[in-house]
Amino acid sequence: MIVEDRTTSENAARRGTTVDLSFPVLGDRVPRDHGYALYGAICRAAPSLHEAPWLGVHPLSGMAIDDTTLHLARHASLRLRLPADRIADVLGLAGANLDVAGASLRLGAPQVHALSLAPSLDARLVAIKLTRRPVRSNPALHRQALDVVGFAERYSVEISRQLHAIGIDQPFELCGRRSLTVAGRRIVGYSVRVGGLTLEQSLALQERGLGGKRRMGCGVFRATRGA
């Protein structure tokens, strides 16, 4: 059964067709780098979600115990971002047991949430594929194309391009370098914050996201805490 407050349907209709569907999670801890393993567990429980282009998965929330382990928050949830007309496709996850890299999670009955109207949004990690290196006139500087400064420059240019494509030209902030491991390969990006958004821009950014790997927790935006 889906739990829904009385205004959710009205708000979702007014704000667009994209919603968050939140499944309560019963479990203790997961790896901090859990995006790939979590998506794999979801697909094992609901094979039709494999490579679903419309699906976004929020990272699980909690407190880091050490460099590798995340202790789940008391009211942790598996939060999926999806079109409202796709809710039926994920309802089979209710009651499912997920094995996330050896961590056992059990999902409860989901609740529908309309997207936030927040003017400031954060994504924990935005993963962007950068295929071109900056041109260096001095060969002695070639290695700098691979350093963090060169990467941040190219990354910022691509973030700006993707934001502009959805009608957002406000300044953004890179809030810390982060990474995700996918099939043994490390993907590096940044936590990104975008502020000063209008209602329409906020909804567009939440609906579209930035970068790739959205099914693994990347590029999915939520309201900035305390903003």
* Tens-digit pLDDT string for the chain (227 aa): 555 544 444 444 444 599 999 999 999 999 999 999 999 999 999 999 999 999 999 999 999 999 999 999 888 999 999 999 999 999 999 999 999 999 999 999 999 999 999 999 999 999 998 765 444 444 443 444 445 568 889 999 999 999 999 999 999 999 999 999 999 999 999 999 999 999 999 999 999 999 999 999 999 999 998 76
| Residue 7 pLDDT | 43
**Residue 139, exposed/middle/buried by CB under 10 A (0-12, 13-18, 19+)?**
exposed
What structural domains and CATH numbers belong to the chain? 8-114 (3.30.70.1890), 121-223 (3.30.70)
For residue 84 the two structure tokens come to 């409202």
Q: Characterize 203-223 residue by residue with b for buried, 16 or more Cβ atoms within 10 angstroms of its Cβ, and e for exposed.
A: bbbbbbbbbebbbbbbbbbbb
| Residue 140 pLDDT | 46
Rounded to whole angstroms, the Cα distance separating 220 from 209 reads: 5
Q: Is 67 helix (H, G, I), strand (E, B) or coil?
A: coil
Total-model pTM: 0.84
| Residue 16 pLDDT | 52
| Residue 79 pLDDT | 98
Q: Is residue 84 within 8 Å of 207, Cβ to Cβ? A: no
| Residue 8 pLDDT | 47
| Residue 226 pLDDT | 76
